Amino acid sequence: MDKDAFIAGLPKAELHMHIEGSLEPELMFALAERNGVALPYANVEALRAAYSFSRLQDFLDIYYQGAAVLRAEADFRDLALAYFKRAAADNVRHAEIFFDPQTHTARGLPFAVAAEGLLAGMAEAERELGVTSKLILCFLRHLPEADAFETLAQAEPWLDRIAGVGLDSSELGHPPAAFARVFARAGELGLKRVAHAGEEGPPAYVEEALDLLHIDRLDHGNRSLEDDRLVERLARSGMTLTVCPLSNLKLCVVDDVARHPIARMLRLGLRATVNSDDPAYFGGYVNANYRAVAPLLTREEMVALARNSFTGSFLAPDAVARHLAEVEAYATAWV
Ligand code: HPA
Ligand code: ZN
């Protein structure tokens, strides 16, 4: 079987993708010029050469710096559309994208600029490319919970167009427990809840995300594997894990993609999915992530990953069922 061709045509959803992390160097330079923002790199090649990370924080420093070129609604719309074109080319049918409003409001942009621009790009992607999407607002965990509350208040006029809240940025030293109250408030507002946990942080952070944030989905979750009882709990509850192989490699969460734990996760009964995280920084969009781990997986396991991406989404059950039927039809046609 030609695994690459199989992956290319496999209908899939993407559930873990930071839209600011899809800012390609070429677009970053174009927006810098459009907005008169100075970049500390001579050109695209020099910028790309700086994408060498040994831990999450190395990446975050460059990622927040890059986001400074985003100034106007049209910039966010262009950013979103550029991502959706790449996603559509990878046969992504549905994407649930993260954004970091605090990165932009801290620079003086109103919440509305990022939200309206992204929502415009999402609507256009659905119209022009047939890719549906949902928006997830992430709180930056290196900032105080009070700032997250302030962000949630700013988001109020858009809450009918925001599917959920997430928790991202520097994990170590910033446990989920610090955000229990703002996540409770998000729950009262009817929002879904997800959190990055167990990327660099210990299994205890995953437990906090379950017990204190009441998450509907776990982002990364790699270090859950260090705790057998936690693995059993995640498997038993049917928790979806949004795993990001190339991100794990670039941020040294794994030392070799050939030893990535995705196969082990599936064989332990975890509902793992494959995602790109920050594709402009980590060397590939979602299909590149599937291809990176394909040597470790059977064809049936790759189908399971696609199936999990829809069952783990926040789509309504009828939409999930339609997508699952397409996945089954595709898999059957390949036999
Ligand atoms: N982890 C934490 N925060 C992030 C990431 C990530 O992988 N990507 C963008 N913000
Ligand atoms: Zn992430």
Mean pLDDT of the region 28-41: 97
- Of the bound ligands, which one is closest to the alpha carbon of residue 21? 1
The mean pLDDT of 7-27, rounded to a whole number, is 98
**pTM exceeds cut of 0.95:** yes
pLDDT in tens, 80-125: 999 999 999 999 999 999 999 999 999 999 999 999 999 999 999 9
Token code pair at residue 130: 């047939």
- 8 A C-beta contact, residue 260 and residue 296: yes
CA dihedral 277, 280, 281, 283 (to 10 degrees): 90
> Burial of 180 by CB count in 10 Å (0-12 exposed, 13-18 middle, 19+ buried)?
middle
Provide the percentage of residues in the chain whose pLDDT is more than 90: 99
Check residue 335 and give its pLDDT.
75
Q: What is the mean pLDDT of residues 198-224?
A: 98
Tokens found for residue 72: 């106007």
* Per annotation, catalytic residue among 20, 171, 199, 207: 199
Question: How many residues would you count in the chain?
Answer: 335
Top-level class of domain 3-334: alpha beta
3-state SS class at 158? helix
| Residue in 191, 194, 83, 90 with CA at minimum distance from that of residue 133 | 83
Rounded (5°) CA angle 161-60-189: 25
The yes-or-no verdict on residue 333 having pLDDT over 70 is: yes
How far is it, in rounded angstroms, from Cα 117 to Cα 249?
31
Contact indicator for 176, 167 with CB cutoff of 8 Å: yes
Which residues lie at CB < 5 A from ion ligand 2? 277
Q: Is 166 in the pocket of ligand 1 (CB under 6 A)?
A: no
SS3 content of the chain, % helix, strand, coil (to 5): 60, 15, 25
Q: Which of 285, 76, 251 is nearest to 170 (CA)?
A: 251
Q: Ligand 1: distance of its center to the CA of 210 in Å?
A: 19
Judge if the beta carbon of residue 196 lies within 6 A of ligand 1: yes
Are the CB atoms for 18 and 328 separated by under 8 Å? no
Q: Please state, in angstroms and rounded to a whole number, the distance separating the CA atoms of residues 191 and 178.
A: 19
Residues 39 and 180: their CA atoms lie apart, in Å, by 37
Nearest atom (ligand 1) to Cα of 100: 10
Count, in order, helices (H) and strands (E) of the chain: 17, 8
Q: Do the Cβ atoms of 34 and 225 come closer than 8 Å?
A: no
Q: Domain spans of the chain? A: 3-334
Asked whether residue 1 carries a pLDDT value surpassing 70, the answer given is no
C-beta of 174 in contact with ligand 1 (< 6 A): no
Per-residue pLDDT, 314: 99
The pLDDT value recorded for residue 257 is 97
- State the pLDDT at residue 90: 98
Average pLDDT over residues 64-86: 98
Q: How many angstroms does the Cα of residue 98 sit away from the middle of ligand 2?
A: 8
Residue 169 CA to ligand 1 center (angstroms) comes to: 5
Would you state the structure tokens that stand for residue 129, as one six-digit string? 């490319």
Tokens 């996603």 map to which residue?
87
Tell me the mean pLDDT in the region 159-166: 99
Report residue 126 as tokens: 């659905």
Q: What is the mean pLDDT of the chain?
A: 98
Whether the CB-CB separation of 57 and 48 falls below 8 Å is answered with no
Whose CA is closest to atom 10 on ligand 1? 169
How far is the CA of 209 from the CAs of 167, 183, 186, 204, 287, in angstroms? 10, 10, 14, 9, 28
Taking only the tens place, the pLDDT of each residue in 292-332 is 999 999 999 999 999 999 999 999 999 999 999 999 999 99
pLDDT tens-digit map of 132-142: 999 999 999 99
The DSSP code for 313 is: S
